[in-house]
Structure 1
Amino acid sequence: MDVAELSPAQARERFRAGLRVPTAGWCRGWTQANLIAVPRWLRYELLLFAHHNPQACPVLDVGEPGAWSTALFSGDLRTDLPGYRLYRAGEAVADLDDVVAEWREDLVPFLVGCSFTFERALQAAGVPVRHLELGTNVPMYLTNVPCRPTPSLSGPLVVSMRPVPEELVETAVEVTGRYPMVHGAPVHVGDPAELGIADLASPDFGDPVEVRAGEIPLFWACGVTPQAVVMASGVEFAIGHLPGHMAILDARDDDYRTAS
């Protein structure tokens, strides 16, 4: 079956069985989200951090301490994503197929909006999405742009990049601006050096894609930002998704689209 035609439950079943693959293009029309699970003592500060940085960290759902499902994700957050990253003392220490053994009773799961949600709308508007064409992961980059900090949390903005033909840049900005809960319009258009990105061919997460003649790189705030903040802040323990390997929610992309 075409992975775009799968339901969220069907996709989760495959990931639970051990399939590790980026989820761009999966489950057409269903919303995808970033996962970050932090100890209970940090949950309200993470909410404050998200409030301070809404474009990078648009919170879609929050679970109860120890819970491995939420109102928008009826599967098992410990097994039903295609990849996880484990953090200890701010260091990424392991990439895992599941986190059943690592999940703690005090962990609070956050589901943060993902820009995959607006890619179908981009394509419908005639804007090409290179990583979907290639079947690869979206490229993501650490920037020199600091997020607005809280007492315990600080770190850099992470962005995803999609090259867009120059004549379609305005369309891409307009289309994605209709999805503010999944990062919205780009945070930067053009020269990556202005974000402190030295080489587009060497993303910090995901896979590189070619920026062709007549195309301009567009950069969107990325839901991997909380993981960069976990690292920069030395958070004692956290679990995130493997970048680009998302939680597929029981919610529709159109739920996060504002009126034209």
Structure 2
Amino acid sequence: MLTLIAIVSGAGGAGRSTVTAHLAAQLAHTSHPVAVLELDAQNSIGALLGLRQTCEIGVLSPGVAPDAWRRVLCETPSGVPLLPAGRADAASVAAIGQWLRQDVGGLRRQLDALGMPEDTRVIIDTQRLPDVVAQAAVAAADLVIGVVPATTTGYVTQPNMMAACAGRAQMVPNLAAASSPLNNDLLHLIQTRGGDAVVPLRIHRDEAIGTVAASGQTLVQAGHGSQAALDFVHLAAWLLRATTVDDAATRTGRAGE
């Protein structure tokens, strides 16, 4: 059975797509079956995974029905299969949202139909909550990762994200900067508010993320020695533990619903 992982946030610029891309690349690098579903109309994941050209056609594009997703599935230089968003318009995004609301099991069914290995972890990049499509991804997911930037905006919007996810989000602080007292204070407040739902790690603000993106690579390919690359190693290890069926005590997902 596929494991669906929704990456969400309540703040703009939180780093959802960046987290999705580098987490997926790290899993692929360690030979764990993984794929990315992009439900964010920004259509930027392809570039983060090393594609040189923008994906024109994808799951959010006009005229692409869910049962036709197989034809837009593409391989990326990072080794991560990608279902890109493609060029979208308001009408096509609204249609996807309506389908997801009306067919609760539709997302998993269409992903299952692609024939990926049963132990594949499908990481879903979403638009900012409370977007309807993002909320549908949360409802379908086995695990919800909420990216909370260690900024004033991240702290202020944290309660809204927690409410939109009905308490299911496991929160990952992003853009951490150990040299900033304000940043450290905000991290403390985020962790205090989130309690045990805050994952015991953080992703640091790191120039390497921009550098590898400019070269069309991922951190696992070209970020050797960077703090952010190490952060994603730890995040991938946590994710594997959290989504391993045998580790029922630590799995967070739909089983408890």
Q: TM-score range by the shorter chain?
A: under 0.3
Could you say which structure has the greater relative contact order, defined with CA pairs below 8 angstroms and 6 or more residues apart?
Answer: 1
Higher strand fraction (1 or 2): 1
Higher helix fraction (1 or 2): 2
Structure 1 length-normalised TM: 0.27
